[in-house]
Amino acid sequence: MIDLFVVPLLKILVVLNVTLVCVTYMVLLERKVIAWAQSRLGPMRVGPYGVLQPIADAVKLMIKEDITPTRADKWVFTAAPVISMVPALIVYAVIPFGPEVTLFGRTFTLYIADINVGLLYIVSVASVGVYGIILAGYASNSKFPLLASLRASAQLISYEVAVTLTLVSVILVAGSLSMVEIVRAQEHSHVWFGFIQPLAFGIFFIGGLAETNRAPFDLPEAEQELTGGFHTEYSGMRFALFFLAEYANMIVVSSVATTLFFGGWLRPFPNVAALNFLGIIPSWAWFGIKSFVFLYIFVWVRATLPRYRYDQLMRLGWKVLIPLAIINLVVTGIVKVALM
């Protein structure tokens, strides 16, 4: 009884709280890193070195006036930010943060659920996340958001294909769809899949950038383009939900990249005895460090690269990434059969 209800609920509480805190502090990380890349300091006033800035942002967004356009579809308008945020959060049910830990005499696994189709679950939940964007643009009852949302969703579904094909290559190498099994396969083979499948990792990361509408693929929501994209008519807490949903999606892509390509909770070089002092760092901390590196790379790319035009973006997705992903899959299959 306790194992069926109480333990998962507690795990969900912990994971959701940590995720939401990380999402709010991503805002600060992004502003700081972009500022440093541009030789300035970023937020410095609120708290020491600007550490309390996300709290100020949250308070500002919560007390802002909540405007609904007159002839907007009320239910859909309210539901769209929720539909954007929920898929980003429920993916954490299958991501493994660590193997097992023993507390108060009980053994807890550091993942909420280990379902046998874990990777497909992540892909399917990500494909449902497209609805938030389409419905936001439609419900705003205004031309610019509608066009921007159709563009954004077309971008998302295009890059979904390339990302899913790279994930199939990873499944071929790992031999299982379950996320925990994939990490254990990396543990058994003593090499992380990022080094066996570098092309797949590259395509996954670029596709992840496009899937989360991040620079250089952020045309649908850039302020200089279509007046702010699909969240033009949103203000206050609803806009905050979209904003947070984008950062939550970024953290999801980083976590999934860590789990699939860079060993999840595994310590680097577990065979080298000279580096055994790294064993002090617990498994979930390794997971956090690796995800943080990918988040930093997300922000670094935003600070550095110029924006793609929409037709260049679609050309890249359909004509470059999908053929590369298919070639990668075919070569992986051939090598796997040849090595058997």
- Applying CB under 8 A, among 34, 157, 172, 196 the residue interacting with other proteins is 157
Task: Encode 267-281: b = buried (16+ Cβ within 10 Å), e = exposed.
Answer: beeeeeeeeeeeeee
Of the candidate spans 41-49, 128-136, 250-258, 302-310, the one that interacts with other proteins by CB under 8 A turns out to be 128-136
Name 220's Cβ contacts closer than 8 Å, sequence gap at least 6. Answer: 133, 148, 149, 151, 152, 155, 213, 226, 229, 230
Phi, psi torsion values for 103, nearest 5 degrees: -130, 140
Task: List 109's β-bridge partners, or say none.
Answer: 100
Which of residues 153, 155, 249, 254 is near other proteins by CB under 8 A?
153
Alpha helices in the chain (DSSP H): 7-37, 53-62, 74-90, 118-128, 130-139, 143-174, 179-189, 193-196, 198-211, 236-261, 283-304, 310-315, 322-338
Q: Closer to other proteins by CB, 128 or 275: give it.
A: 128
Query: Of the ranges 110-118, 198-206, 282-290, 308-316, which one interacts with other proteins (CB under 8 A)?
Result: 110-118
The Cα-based distances of 136 to 84, 141, 207 in angstroms read: 9, 9, 22
275-314 mask for other proteins (x: CB under 8 A)?
----------------------------------------
Residue 125 touching other proteins (CB under 8 A)? yes
Based on the shown chain and the rule CB under 8 A, indicate whether residue 225 belongs to the binding site for other proteins: no
- From 125-133, 188-196, 240-248, 249-257, span contacting other proteins (CB under 8 A): 125-133
The least distance separating other proteins from the CB of residue 41, rounded to whole angstroms, comes to: 43
Strand-pair category, 100-103 with 106-109:
antiparallel
Instruction: Single out the residue of 134, 162, 182, 316 in contact with other proteins (rule: CB under 8 A).
Output: 134
Residues near 227 by Cβ (< 8 Å), separated by ≥ 6?
144
Q: Which is nearer to other proteins, 135 or 209 (CB)?
A: 135
- For residues 289 and 250, give the distance between their C-alpha atoms in angstroms, rounded to a whole number: 15
Q: Is 255 in the site for other proteins (CB under 8 A)?
A: no
| Nearest approach, Cβ of residue 129 and other proteins (Å) | 9
Find tokens 């200089």 and name the residue.
224
How far apart are CB 132 and other proteins at their closest, in Å? 12
Binding site for other proteins (CB under 8 A): 73, 76, 115-117, 120-121, 123-125, 127-128, 130-131, 134-135, 138, 146, 150, 153, 157, 177
